[in-house]
Structure 1
């Protein structure tokens, strides 16, 4: 019996570092940010009709909000971003769509682009290929991030399209691990290379 307990304790000790590392990954941080945004928006827009359940009121409020997402920028250089920033926006967007918000895709091209070797593409960052340059959303999701030696801190906000008022704001932190390091550099043609800390740590 004591041997079984010893083995169990050893397994728990070995698994704890993995749990700690997983707790700060990109999807988890994105979920934390999205929940903060959602909570603040519901405080503003969910109804207070006693005849309708809170869940139904929130569902109606979410369905009436159209959001456009943009890439978080480096706080120290607003013209710079990284693959990690783009992935963070994708994850936050995914959560909001799953929650019932409407989302407008800014990068949709006019036509599907076919490439024999690379495949078929409809998304583009070429302004001349965009299907539309006009957005019709109520809110724009934008944000910034800052890289330290051990973590990347994201601040994401929803900005009212016409008034520029910040409707909601959420923050989250992603620890820098070895597998995350490549996402801190921009490998695209003309990319500045992103910001990579000179000192790195891996959660153990």
Structure 2
């Protein structure tokens, strides 16, 4: 059994669980991180030097970083399929959007999350607004223009790119609502929110 170490309400754990559901792959999730602790132990730090979640343990293979875990699972358990890419070119097209989510979209969205959820009434509204403007520019100026008229980001089937971006769209809508979203982005989010894996693992009442 493939083990996934990480608490169920971690956004990055949710992302991996949703990806596994799309691949119809069973993972044995174990509570690590947050109130469960266990991420500062020598054993865990040997597996994941960052002391963060999730960490995947598949036999003798140990992987950390959620997007990399998703890539590994797709390559190991769904090779040549649409979710991770049928060939090198399609895998690269999926991967570039996964990297965009992690390196470009996530930083300002994470700032909004920290300000609203972690700081609450002590948040800096100027920081929230500036970060919101940055995210909106990315969603309107990049994602909306890249989305096809119908279907998902790279065609009719859901890929790892959709899972990674969809998890962040859930965070955006949970924190800010959907009124400011481009119509196509809003429709894309709505379509992703109907996926069984999204409903089970992502939409759990937390951003």
TM-score exceeds 0.5: no
The normalised TM-score by structure 2 is 0.26
Q: Which has the higher helix share?
A: 2
Q: Which has the higher strand share?
A: 1
Which has the higher Rg, Structure 1 or Structure 2?
1
